[in-house]
Structure formats: C-alpha cells, structure tokens
Amino acid sequence: MITILEAKRAGLLGKQALLPNIVAGVIVGVVALPLSMAFAIASGARPEQGLYTAILGGFMVSTLGGSRVQIAGPTGAFIAILSGITAKYGISGLQVATLMAGFMLVLMGMARMGGVIKFIPAPVIVGFTAGIGVIIFVGQWKDFFGLPPVSGTHFHEKLWHLIQALPHLHPATTILAAVSLLLVVFTPRIRGLRRVPGPLVAMVVATVLQALFQFRGVATIGSAFGGIPHGLPGFALPSVTVAQVIELIGPAFAIAMLGAIESLLSAVVADGMTGTKHDSNQELIGQGLANMATPLFGGFAATGAIARTATNIRNGGNSPLAGIAHTLTLVVIVLFLAPLAANIPLSALSAILFVVAYNMSELKHFAHMLHRAPLADVAILLITFLLTVFTDLVLAVNIGVTLAILQFLRRMSTAVEVQQLSEQELKLELFNQGLFALPKGVLVYEIAGPFFFGAVENFERALLQTHTDPYILILRLRRVPFMDITGLQTLEEVIGKLRKRGVRVMLCEANHRVRGKLAKAGVLALLMEGDYADEFPTVLERADQASHEQGSNPHRLSDYAHSVLKTSQRFFHGHDD
C-alpha cells in the first residue's frame, strides 16, 4: 500500500478528494471494459482473461507501484508479442512467461534500473510503437471484415493473404464494424456525449443491433468463446517445467522490457499532467508483482496504460483511490453483467483496436521526426519500424538500441578533444610562475571530455605522432569527467611508449573519481617507479640546458619544472590540486 501511504501524506485521502477519485475510477473502468476484452482476444486469450488482468493487475499497480495515478491492465503495445507467444506456446506458456517477466521486473526495480530504461532513445520508441500500430491494424482485418482464416507465418505473408481475401468480406460484419468505428471516432465530438467513452458507445450500439437483428454469420463473443463466465476466477498454479522456463526466457524478457518501457512512459506522461514525480524503481517493482500475480488468477501480462491513465487524470483522479475504483467497477461488471457480453460482435472490438492502432502509430510525430531529425536518427527510426513490422519486436528493439548506442558513441568520440595548449593560452599560469614563455622541452596537453574506449584513437594520434619529442609532457585532466578501463589501459601504454622515447609524462588536476581509477589501474604507480624518480633531475637538467641554449633563464625554468613536480607529487599522494 505504498502509494496509498504517500497519498495520505500528501493529503489526498480526505473526504473532499473521495468523490472525484471514485467518479474518475468508474469512468476509467467503463473505458477499460471494451479495451481489456479487445486486447485479450487480439493477444490470443479469452475476453474474460483481459478483464481479470485489468482487475488484479490494475489493483496491484495502483497500490504497490510508484505513481499515484497509474492505471494498469492489458495494453495494445503487448499484442504483437503476446499473440506470437500464445500461438507458439499456448495460453499456459503465455502465463508462465508473464510470471517470469514479473520476476524480472522486480529484479530490475531492486537493481534501480528504472532511471536507465527511461533513456531509451526517442527514434527507437517511436519506431517500434508505430510498427506495433501497423501490426495491430492489419491483424484486425479478419474480424473487422469477417474474413475467413488466413495462413502465413510472417507479416508480409499474412498481409498478402488478407488482401486476397478482401473480396470475400462479410457484409453485415463489415457494416457493424464501420458503424462502430464511426461511433468511436465521432462520439467525443457530439455535444452531450463528450464525456461518454467512444469505445463503450460503439460496443453497446453494436451489441444492441446484433441482439435485436441476430445477423447471420456475425462472430460474437458468445459464438467464438461461449460468452464470459459469471464470477471471478480462482487461484491456479500454471504447470511449469525446467525446459519450459529455459525456452521462455527470451519471450519473458521481451514482456519485461516492453512492460518496463510502457509503464515508465505512462508514469512520465502522468507526471507531466499532474506536476508530480513518480518513483521509477518502485513502479517496476509494482509492475513486477502485478505480473507475478495475474497469471495465478487466469490473467496475463499487464502494464501501465497511457490512455487510461490520462483519462483518470482528466476526470479528477489524483490518488490510488481512482485505480481501486476502476478495479471495483470491473468486478461489478463481471459479477452482474457478464451474460450480456455474449452478443458483443468481434467486429466492434476490432473497430476499437483500429483507433488504438492509429493512436499508437503517432503518424504526425513519426512524420515530424522523419522531416526534422538528424539523418542518423531517421535511419534508426526507419530500421526499428521496419524490423518491428517484418521481423519481431524483440529484434527490432535490440537492434534499434544498439544502433542508437553506436551513434551516441560516435558522437561522443568526436566530442572528446586532445589539445596542445599554446603559450598564449598558458600566459597567465606562466606569469604566475615568473615565466614569459613556455620552457623549451616542456609540452602541455589538455584532454577535454570522457576518456573512454571511443576516444582513445584521438589521444594516441595526438601524442604518439609528434615530430619532435619533448623532455616533459604534462597532461591536464581537469576536464575529464571519467575514464573507462580502455582509456586507462591506453594511457598506460602511451606513457610506456613515451618513456622509451625519453619523454616523461606528468598528470595533474584530475577529479577524485578519475584519480581513484588511475590509482586502482596502476597508472600512478607506473609514473612513480624508482627509475622515474632517479632520472627526473636529469630530465630537468636536460630541459634547463635546452632552454639555456635558447637564451632563457635556467633558474626560472627550474622553478617552473620543480613547481610542476611538486604539483604532481601532491596529486600522487591524493591531495587536492
């Protein structure tokens, strides 16, 4: 009851907040009724299983999640994954995969990965959500037009067979579907009906028409599934084997990843609408516990639903009471109105999913990104979209994220600079040392940016391809926020190569984090090896002599060189620079 306690501390459980949250919950429950059944059927499950998922999953996320206003249940984003799992492993396999996904989500929340998942790049998210929209849209043609069953393993095969079957559409089914689609779209624009959910109006009108006229050949929940059972499901453990668990690791991970992304996106949208801030890690834990529970009571995968969460907020919901009221509304419907569902046409639910698919595709946002985004981001967007449609969502997300990471690394590597500092840039610092010019034989380089594996090439090229070796090379690390192991190893190798060429390297101005990594990697020990300390005066003398030959003041040079050595010694011993 974490969210309830938080809402209580925020003063959102008083009498003045009770009625608005109950009203919002009832409205969301009514909205969730047709959507839950439609998503369940499209996922290969029975319609009542969608209701069970919305009831239990919605209750647990509302009370145990990280957002006070999140509404959870079956969503359209899951259809592409769940239908494939159901087709291959059956509904029991889907429930086992959901149970495993819930466990993964709990682990992700406990590992505090909520903040990381939110940073999946926008081109990947837009690409796969648009791809899912296309899959849902095409997948509903059969029920929308009353087409005969079609075969085909891949999307393009199913699409081609559906196009070939279109001339054999069922007229009454298509008319009911078209009427339902119009009602879903235009109900919010009719004065007096704006607050009534369009999907509910479409489902009720289509059901009444079918009940009155009994159109022949129109598939309904009664003809396809035998109706919805009267009552709530009991507890039942799914049969699980070790071999099944191993085989379902991939599908379970796909459910977990998509569930995490969808729920956190929904929570972010809710934050923007309410001005609050959710706990992303607690949200993952709540989602995980919900997905561990729903398969035990006949349900399947649940996650945060953006549209239902937004509906909750728009109607005054601001605490978990709205989510609980949403759950109770669905319980009442299942207990008392289940027999009425037998006449619900599947074509009406398909019409509802047509609108869901359109909203998911975000065509305007997709087109805007195509025209305005950098070329690399456009490529990632299109690749993710095409892979989602023509292969599968898991592969699409994996490749999309990988490409986005590679693009980010490429940009970061070019942003890291290894620059030799000129006398003009060091003028003030030289003046403070009593110098008017940089001593001959001393070079100062500055590294700016994260020194990671993508940036080492610039570093090596800048330091190892000098035509004239200095006696002393000073590396300033003040603008290096972090180093990875590749950067540390490269720095160590470069120091070794320069030492063989008679060049002594000194490091200074590193932050505490970088300093600790340098010490742990042994770079500082390399710089302070015994032969280095013995040879350093000789190096200073060589630098003094070279400068003296050029007419500089050797006393000043020695002061400067010893000053550098002193700074480095303080650095080696862990003091602030």
**523 with 493: CB under 8 angstroms?**
no
To which H or E segment does residue 443 belong? strand 442-448
- Is residue 217 predicted with pLDDT exceeding 80? yes
Pairing relationship of beta strands 472-479 and 504-508 according to DSSP bridges = parallel
DSSP conformation class of 239: P
Give the pLDDT band (50/70/90) at residue 202.
very high
- Is residue 575 predicted with pLDDT exceeding 50? no
> Which of 56-70, 464-478, 543-557 shows the lowest per-residue confidence on average (mean pLDDT)?
543-557
Q: What is the DSSP string of 4-19?
A: HHHHHHTT-SSHHHHH
- Is residue 556 predicted with pLDDT exceeding 70? no
Mean pLDDT of 49-62: 96
Give the percent of the chain with pLDDT over 70.
87
Q: Name residue, tokens 């590679």.
A: 406
- Is residue 547 predicted with pLDDT exceeding 60? no
Average of per-residue pLDDT values in the chain: 84
Give residue 534's pLDDT: 45
> Which of 16-25, 288-297, 430-439 shows the lowest per-residue confidence on average (mean pLDDT)?
430-439
Give residue 554's pLDDT: 44
Give residue 569's pLDDT: 45
- Is residue 438 predicted with pLDDT exceeding 90? no
Give the pLDDT band (50/70/90) at residue 544.
low
- Is residue 385 predicted with pLDDT exceeding 70? yes
Mean pLDDT of 520-543: 61
Tell me how far apart the alpha carbons of residues 188 and 168 are, in angstroms, rounded to a whole number. Answer: 33
Render pLDDT for 353-372 as a digit per residue (tens, 0 to 9): 999 999 888 899 999 999 99
Amino acid at 158: K
- Is residue 428 predicted with pLDDT exceeding 70? yes
**459 with 451: CB under 8 angstroms?**
yes
Give residue 362's pLDDT: 86
Tell me how far apart the 2 most distant CA atoms of the chain are, in Å: 109
Which residue did the predictor score with more confidence, 299 or 449? 299
To which H or E segment does residue 97 belong? helix 79-110
> Which three-class secondary structure string do you get for 385-403?
HHHHHHCCHHHHHHHHHHH
**471 with 502: CB under 8 angstroms?**
yes
**155 with 83: CB under 8 angstroms?**
no
Give the pLDDT band (50/70/90) at residue 563.
low
Which residue did the predictor score with more confidence, 573 or 307? 307
Render pLDDT for 474-498 as a digit per residue (tens, 0 to 9): 888 888 898 888 888 888 888 888 8
Please state the separation of Cα 55 from the chain's center in Å: 25
> Which of 117-126, 207-216, 546-555 shows the lowest per-residue confidence on average (mean pLDDT)?
546-555
**156 with 386: CB under 8 angstroms?**
no
Which residue did the predictor score with more confidence, 207 or 404? 207
Q: What is the dihedral angle through the alpha carbons of 37, 39, 43, 48, rounded to the nearest 10 degrees?
A: -20
Mean pLDDT of 99-109: 96
Give the pLDDT band (50/70/90) at residue 530.
very low
Q: Name residue, tokens 């996904």.
A: 101
Render pLDDT for 532-542 as a digit per residue (tens, 0 to 9): 444 444 444 55
DSSP conformation class of 339: G
Mean pLDDT of 132-137: 91
Among the listed residues 275, 278, 270, the one whose alpha carbon sits nearest the alpha carbon of residue 313: 270
Give residue 330's pLDDT: 95
Mean pLDDT of 39-45: 94
Mean pLDDT: which of 189-198, 238-247, 286-295, 455-464 is highest? 286-295
Give residue 531's pLDDT: 46
Mean pLDDT of 311-337: 92
Give residue 576's pLDDT: 41
